[in-house]
Copies of this chain bind each other. A is one copy, B any other.
Amino acid sequence: MANPKSMKKMILRSIRTTLLEGGSSTKAELSDKLGISFPTVSKFLADMEKDGEIISLGLDESSGGRRAKRYTYNPEYMLGLAIFLEKSETNYTIFNCFGEIKKQGKVSSVLKEDGLHLLTTHIEEIITANPKIRSMAIGVPGAVDRGRIFHIPGYEQFKDLDLKGYYENYFSIPVAVENDMNAAVLGYYHTRKRKDQSLVYLYSGQNGPGAGIMINGTVVRGSMFFSGEVQFVPQYNERNFQEALMNGSGTRNETISEKYEIDAIGRLVASFVAIINPHTFIFCQDEVNEATMDKIKENSSTYIPAEHLPAFQVGDWKQDYLFGLQNLCLEVMVDKISNLS
């Protein structure tokens, strides 16, 4: 699409994102940065200010002439709702456009019989109590294809459900639905400034290891939404990654420390480097510590030239997951909502 309407949308979106990301701006700065003429920026900002979407911060120090007016986004103008569907419970968070958490709550898990209906009721209550909510993001422990739950082991009643479509229709607000690992890697991605990077977020949880992967700024889903199922990577004559981590026993340690674990992960890192050569490799902070990470790094470098190894980082999974959902929320907010006449 290339017409005046889409142009208006693009302008509004670009102003919103720069204001939200940059903190504050003057009209001239926006005009300059976005390649939009001053009068146009002026008109949009006037409308947005009248609507309460932006707030004047007063005048800048003079740079030799008339002082410029500075504007900032009003974070309370719209709120977002993030919902985490988990096995044992369902958490939700209400936050403003700056990502500041306004309210947090927990209800019993909706991943059970008649869970959809239950979830709908909960959301209804939350939205009625917080009418400023303009979008929501739902994280689910399963594969998601454009808002449709594609595969969700253990909770078959949610399978093939177009959750996004259903709730967008029901609540008339934009909705994002995303897999938990993908949301986490997305969240981590957005907390860093460097964009367009490739990330791998590894967690070696109890029910099999998994990885969230991001390349060139987009989440990798795979043809069958099977990407990141690293447990199947063949690593030794007779063992794949999963088997190597198990080391013959039926269970797994919570934290990683044993030599066989280090070598398995080291090999996995090497495989990732040889295949996609990511910028950063993220481990979960409750699974590895700094010392282990150093050992893994050393181990990987026996398989692959050390200069090509990624940066090793620890991430707070829970936190990144929340950030990811928040970001999805904000994205659809910035993109879809238009209160301008």
The residues of A with any CB-CB pair to B shorter than 8 Å are 1-3, 6-7, 10-11, 14, 34-37, 197-198, 211, 213, 215-216, 218, 220-237, 240-241, 267, 270-279, 303-304, 307-308, 310
Contacts and interface: CB of A to CB of B under 8 A. Distances in A.
A175 to B, nearest CB: 22
A167 to B, nearest CB: 25
Nearest to A198: B223
5 contacts: A1-B35, A213-B275, A227-B275, A234-B235, A234-B303
A304 to B, nearest CB: 5
Contact of A35 (B2, B11, B225, B304): B2
A119 B274 CA distance: 33
A228 B308 CA distance: 12
Nearest to A217: B218
A189 to B, nearest CB: 14
Contacts of A231: 274
Q: Say what secondary structure dominates the interface of chain A.
A: loop
Contacts of A227: 275-277
Nearest to A272: B275
Contact of A7 (B7, B197, B229, B303): B7
A142 to B, nearest CB: 15
Contacts of A233: 270-271, 274-275
Nearest to A264: B234
A221 B277 CA distance: 8
A224 to B, nearest CB: 5
Given A2-B7, A2-B14, A223 B271 contact: no
The number of times this chain is found in the oligomer is: 2
Given A232-B303, A241-B274, A275-B276, 18 more contacts: A1-B34, A2-B34, A2-B35, A3-B36, A198-B220, A198-B222, A198-B223, A221-B277, A226-B273, A226-B274, A226-B308, A228-B275, A231-B274, A234-B235, A234-B270, A234-B271, A235-B235, A240-B303
B234 A278 contact: no
Contacts of A213: 275-276
A227 to B, nearest CB: 4
Contacts of A223: 197-198, 277-279, 308, 310
A216 B308 CA distance: 24
User: Which 7 A-B pairs give the minimum distances between C-beta atoms?
Assistant: A222-B277, A223-B279, A232-B274, A2-B10, A226-B277, A227-B277, A1-B35
A36 B2 contact: yes
